[in-house]
Amino acid sequence: MAEGRGVQWLDIDEHHDGQRLDNFLLAHLKGAPRTLIYRIIRRGEVRINGGRGKASRRLVKGDRVRVPPLRLTPQEAVQDVSDNLRHVIERSVLKETPDWMVFNKPSGLAVHGGSGVKIGLIEALRQIRDDLPYLELVHRLDRDTSGCLLVAKSREALNFLSDELRAHRMQKHYLALVEGRWSVEQREVSAPLLRFELPNGERRVRVEETGKPSKTRFKLIESLRGATLIEAEPVTGRTHQIRIHAVHAGHPLLGDTKYGSVTGERLAKRCELSRLFLHARTLGFTDPASRQPVTLHAPLSDDLLSVLARLR
């Protein structure tokens, strides 16, 4: 049985002035998947002041958005937040201010729904924190990656932080466990990365001359039995960048089911690693309100600490 919604008229206030149409609809139509949002925009069923609009259109205070009746099958609808997920998200908050929140995102939790994922952190957060009219991701982490994730609580904060990100003024440092002995001399990998799709639709990345310029800085942290704990600082922000650059250097990440090796898979099994060992440990940025530097650290989870202990 499908869930139905009638026509909705949504007025744009100062909180959503300048927001993209697709992001506005994703935030307000909490049960609707991304595929449905883009479909009704593409078909012209969403009207802005009586006219059509593209997904990338920036809304202006005073605009009136018409949303057509929506019918969501149980397979399409974004699921409600379970008590367990609510507890996980609430205890993952590292710091919250009037302008932003930083989470220590657990591995296995997608940052947003789509591609078979019924609910991600941002959709769940909008249900949990329905007292906040505006919540948007400033950046993203892969589903299997844990660690620091920044969410803006206002359009102004998002614009400021996004500018920081684009200008490479935001510092991100990751901890990764790679197979083999990483050389202390291997401090940087510069290799162009190209995104492509497998026949089943799964996205992958490879080093390719026609790809986008990409650079990652590396630092050896600790040599272990059969593996090395390293710090990675992505200078550019390409999909799967750290993972591919580590492979390019000859040291795939442990627990990487997409790009790992058979040797790494055996080692991961021996040290009881059941997930990708990639953790966004440190995030540094300028606070939008005070203009003062902020640095936050996300501790490693107990399961990753146990893996390191077994390899020492």
Dihedral angle over CA of 123, 127, 128, 134, nearest 10: 80
The closest alpha carbon to 176, from 93, 245, 94, belongs to: 245
Q: How does pLDDT run across 235-256, given as a tens digit for each residue?
A: 999 999 999 999 999 999 999 9
Q: Does the pLDDT of residue 1 top 90, yes or no?
A: no
Q: How far is CA 92 from CA 67, 225, 299, in A?
A: 34, 31, 11
Q: pTM for the complete prediction?
A: 0.78
Q: 251 exposed, middle or buried (CB, 10 Å; 0-12, 13-18, 19+)? A: buried
| pLDDT range class, residue 19, cuts 50, 70, 90 | confident
Identity (one letter) of the amino acid at 40? I
Q: Are strands 146-152 and 136-137 parallel, antiparallel or unpaired?
A: antiparallel
The residue annotated as part of the active site, out of 22, 142, 144, 256, is 142
- Structural domains in the chain, CATH included, are 8-67 (3.10.290.10), 83-164 (3.30.2350.10), 168-311 (3.30.2350.10)
* Predicted local distance difference test score (pLDDT) of residue 260: 94
99 is catalytic: no
Q: Is the pLDDT of residue 27 over 90?
A: no
Q: Indicate whether 3 pLDDT > 70.
A: no
- Give residue 112's pLDDT: 81
Map 194-233 to HEC letters: EEEECCCCCEEEEECCCCECCEEEEEEEEECCCEEEEEEE
Mean pLDDT of 27-44: 82
Distance CA 302, CA 164 (A): 32
Mean pLDDT, to the nearest integer, of 264-281? 95
Mean pLDDT of the chain: 90
Is the Cβ–Cβ distance between 162 and 285 less than 8 Å? no
In sequence order, the β-bridge partners of residue 233 are 217
Average pLDDT over residues 134-154: 94
